[in-house]
Chains A and B, each alone.
Chain A
Amino acid sequence: MNIATRAAFGEALVELSDQYPEIVTIDADLAGSLKTGAFKKKHPERAFNVGIAEQNLIGTAAGMAIAGKIPFACSFAVFSSGRPWEQIRNSVAYPKINVKIVGSHAGILTGEDGATHQALEDLALMRVLPNMQVFCPADANETKAVMHEIVKIKGPCYLRLGRDGVPVIYPENYKFEVGKGDILQQGNDATVIATGSLVGYALQAVRKLKEEDNLNVELINMASIKPIDDNLIINSAKKTGLVITAEDHQITGGLAGAVAEVLSEKQPTKMYRIGMQDQFGESGTPEDLYAKYGFNTENLYNRFKKILKK
């Protein structure tokens, strides 16, 4: 079953809304896409729209947080992380204000709208900011689990979500821990570290490698991009000696960048980076784009196998 993480985000807002009366949503004309409608229906006095004006989206969120609220500033990732980046830097990250920035429609998973709307740099843009914590959940249930944790953090957070459905791999009661990765399959032959929308497909790929090729690949889901799970990365790299990262994002600055920083300092290991290779996306169905850019189960299986056979 495939569910979009943005849909789970909308449900989580409603689930958390009574326990956290400080939660408010601020949309920038994309409330329908961000799935904040159910929250607005339940708490109309806590749901705001600032129109198509993302600099003010971030400023408004910062002010709301200063007034004691827990604001979720919502838009497509290109517009919530990229367009108002300097507002995030100076009005939110530097003063360590309790703003939750939500970026949906991340990656080429966005599909038909094309490259202008496919955020492929957001993890890098947010990760470089001091005080900012960055989360990229793999499925609907992990999205809800992440939401339960980020509302407890008194500081800036970025939550990366996708437009299209992705496989559900976690049970409903899954618990997420900030700063921890999750081993989805144990193995000794190589380590695959994946994040977000590629985790489900990577899981199917490593299962196939085990069944059909007797290759035991360790698969780590890294939803906590910052803080990242240094120990898990180091220990797995020590065990396997080969690390492959996989993300629907540029291969610079995001998951691959974060993993490379850890390994090059603490456990130098041969790495391969699967992701967007310093290129923009294009229009197409998410399925077609994942096939073209090498992100579906079949592609990942072949790419992992090729790397392992080197």
Chain B
Amino acid sequence: MSAHFKNIAIRLRKDILKMIYAAQSGHPGGSLSAIDVLTILFFDGFIKNDPQNPDWEDRDYFVLSKGHAAPALYAVLGEQGFFEKDNFFNIRQTDALLQGHPVIKIPGIEATTGSLGQGISVATGIAMGLKIDNKANKVFTLLGDGETQEGQVWEAAMSAAHHKLGNLVAIIDINGLQIDGKTCDVMQTNPVNQKFKAFGWEVLECDGHNHSEISQTLKKALEVKNKPVAIIAHTVKGKGISFMENNAGWHGKAPNESEFEQAMAELEMQI
């Protein structure tokens, strides 16, 4: 894939870290595991939206079900121009636009999320609402693998297949870690692909950091009609920063000054 997307992803990773460093709180691990998928989703033409007109009737919808990856989505929306990037530097502060988890009042945010399991359910409702009116808008949602431990995910999964929501694509960011440790130790979620398949979904898989694979998988997903699609994206938590990769300790921790500088230097080297 082109250096174009690689450079965007590096820029977004830097923005994620700048936000979390500025706030001295937030969730770097899951933001970094998700950012390559978001890069392709938003900058390779899969999501049609308009930063000048966030409520554009024909836009595609994106719901960040794993709401704690808010810095990743804010980085994307800031890059697209939904709001000024200056907002990155007072994220999580009193009176700031950018809340700790996504809220609907932020331009470009379609649903308030952060309580796990709820975003996919809301995305299902949006898809049903659009389907009533035979509208062509697509609905995308991104979940974490730990999040699939929530019962509501499976209530929504059952309903989306039952209602034949061909306009819904759910991407599962499988980074294998959650707050208390490895997902397979805390509560085994695998085989999550077979679970979605058994619930009646079309299931696709990809390397969640390989831009061309992500793009090809999304293209395939959009060809599926009359049933929802789950994309199992295999990722690395903390991807791109050596000392954060595959370390559950970086789920919800901010880097200190030297860690921040090292992280930015590592990203600079990747350009």
Q: How long is the Cα–Cα vector from A61 to B155 in the complex, in angstroms?
A: 13
Q: Is A91's CB under 8 angstroms from B122's CB?
A: yes
Residue of A24, A45, A53, A71 near B158 (CB, 8 A) is A53
Q: How long is the Cα–Cα vector from A46 to B125 in the complex, in angstroms?
A: 13
Q: Is A59's CB under 8 angstroms from B122's CB?
A: yes
Q: How long is the Cα–Cα vector from A255 to B162 in the complex, in angstroms?
A: 40
Contacts of A61 in B (CB 8 A): 125
Q: How long is the Cα–Cα vector from A90 to B112 in the complex, in angstroms?
A: 7
Contacts of B151 in A (CB 8 A): 55
How far, in Å, is B160 (CB) from chain A's closest CB? 9
Contacts of A46 in B (CB 8 A): 132
Residue of A50, A63, A68, A91 near B127 (CB, 8 A) is A63
Residue of B110, B118, B155, B162 near A91 (CB, 8 A) is B118
* Residues A91 and B126 in contact in the complex (CB < 8 Å), given A53-B159, A63-B111: no
Is the interface on chain A under 10, 10 to 19, 20 to 34, or 35 or more residues? 20 to 34
B123 within 8 A of partner (CB): yes
B: number of interface residues (CB 8 Å)? 32
A102 within 8 A of partner (CB): no
Q: How long is the Cα–Cα vector from A45 to B131 in the complex, in angstroms?
A: 10
* Residues A64 and B129 in contact in the complex (CB < 8 Å), given A48-B163, A55-B155: yes
Q: How long is the Cα–Cα vector from A252 to B121 in the complex, in angstroms?
A: 32
* Residues A60 and B124 in contact in the complex (CB < 8 Å), given A91-B118, A95-B112: yes
Q: How long is the Cα–Cα vector from A63 to B132 in the complex, in angstroms?
A: 13
* Residues A50 and B155 in contact in the complex (CB < 8 Å), given A60-B128, A67-B129, A94-B112: yes
* Residues A86 and B115 in contact in the complex (CB < 8 Å), given A60-B121, A60-B124: yes
Contacts of B118 in A (CB 8 A): 55, 59, 62, 87, 90-91
Q: Is B152's CB under 8 angstroms from A59's CB?
A: yes
Identity of the chain B residue whose Cβ is nearest the Cβ of A93 in the assembled complex: B112
* Residues A87 and B125 in contact in the complex (CB < 8 Å), given A46-B132, A56-B159, A63-B111: no
Chain A contacts to B: CB under 8 angstroms? 24, 45-46, 48, 50-51, 53, 55-56, 58-69, 71, 86-87, 90-91, 94-95, 97
A-B residue pairs in contact (CB < 8 Å), sample of 17? A24-B129, A46-B132, A51-B158, A53-B155, A55-B121, A55-B151, A60-B121, A60-B122, A60-B159, A61-B125, A62-B122, A63-B127, A63-B129, A91-B111, A91-B112, A91-B122, A94-B103
